Amino acid sequence: MTNEIIKLNAKDIATKIATGELSSVEVTQAHFDRIEKVDERVHAFLHLTKESALSDAAKVDAKIKGGEKLGPLAGVPLALKDILAMEGVPTTAGSKILENWRPPYDATVVKKLRENDIIILGKTNMDEFAMGSSTEYSAYGPTKNPWDLERIPGGSGGGSSAALAAYEAPLAIGSDTGGSIRQPAAVTGTVGVKPTYGAVSRYGVIALASSLDQVGPCARNVLDTALLHKAIAGHDPRDSTSINQSVPDVVGAALKADVKGVKIGLVKQLGGEGYQAGVQQRFREAVDILTSLGAEVHEVSCPSFEYALGAYYLILPSECSSNLAKFDGMRYGLRVGDNVENAVEQVMSMTREAGFGPEVKRRIMLGTYALSSGYYDAYYGSAQKVRTLISRDFAAAFEKVDVLISPTAPTTAFKIGDKVDDPLAMYLNDVATIPVNLAGNSAMSLPIGLAPEDGLPVGLQIMAPVMGDDRLYNVGAALENALKEKWGHLLIEEVQAL
- CATH at 447: 3.90.1300.10
Asked if 178 and 212 touch (Cβ cutoff 8 Å), the reply is yes
Environment class of 15 (CB within 10 Å of its CB; exposed 0-12, middle 13-18, buried 19+): middle
The CA distance from 32 to 77, in Å, is 10
Mean pLDDT value across residues 397-415: 98
Residue in 137, 136, 134, 69 with CA at minimum distance from that of residue 359: 137
The CA distance from 379 to 7, in Å, is 49
According to the model, what pLDDT value does residue 331 have?
73
Please work out, in degrees rounded to the nearest 5, the angle formed at the alpha carbon of residue 404 by the alpha carbons of 274 and 424: 30
Query: Hey, which bits of 347-409 come out as E strands?
Result: 403-407
The CA distance from 370 to 427, in Å, is 18
According to the model, what pLDDT value does residue 258 have?
98
Answer whether residue 258 is part of any domain: yes
Residues spanned by the domain of 234:
2-304+388-494
According to the model, what pLDDT value does residue 377 have?
84
Mean pLDDT value across residues 299-304: 98
Q: How confident is the model at residue 339 (pLDDT cuts 50, 70, 90)?
A: low
Asked if 49 and 120 touch (Cβ cutoff 8 Å), the reply is yes
Residue 340 has pLDDT above 70, yes or no: no
According to the model, what pLDDT value does residue 399 have?
98
User: What are the residue numbers of the active site?
Assistant: 81, 156, 180
Report percent pLDDT > 70 for the chain. 99
Mean pLDDT value across residues 421-448: 95
Answer whether residue 395 is part of any domain: yes
Mean pLDDT value across residues 25-37: 98
Question: SS3 of 279, please?
Answer: helix
Answer whether residue 323 is part of any domain: no
pLDDT tens digit sequence for 126-150: 999 999 999 999 999 999 999 999 9
* Angle between the N-to-C axes of helices 50-65 and 24-42, in degrees from 0 to 180, rounded to the nearest 10: 160
Mean pLDDT of the chain: 95
Q: Which residues pair with residue 384 across a beta bridge?
A: none
The CA distance from 257 to 434, in Å, is 27
Give the CA distances from residue 408 to residues 99, 205, 351, 432, 498, in Å, rounded to whole numbers and listed in that order. 33, 25, 37, 6, 25
Mean pLDDT value across residues 347-358: 77
Answer whether residue 356 is part of any domain: no
The CA distance from 444 to 405, in Å, is 9
According to the model, what pLDDT value does residue 431 have?
97
Answer whether residue 345 is part of any domain: no
The set of residues, in sequence order, having a beta carbon less than 8 Å from that of 1 and lying 6+ positions away, is: 26, 30
Residue 306 has pLDDT above 80, yes or no: yes
Answer whether residue 280 is part of any domain: yes
In 10 A of CB 287, how many CB atoms? Answer: 18
Q: What domain count does the chain have?
A: 1
Answer whether residue 127 is part of any domain: yes
Answer whether residue 175 is part of any domain: yes
Query: Hey, which bits of 321-441 come out as E strands?
Result: 403-407
According to the model, what pLDDT value does residue 1 have?
74
The CA distance from 360 to 366, in Å, is 10
Q: In what order do the strands lie in the sheet with 403-407?
A: 45-48, 119-124, 77-81, 171-175, 215-219, 191-194, 442-450, 457-464, 403-407, 263-267, 296-300
According to the model, what pLDDT value does residue 371 have?
87
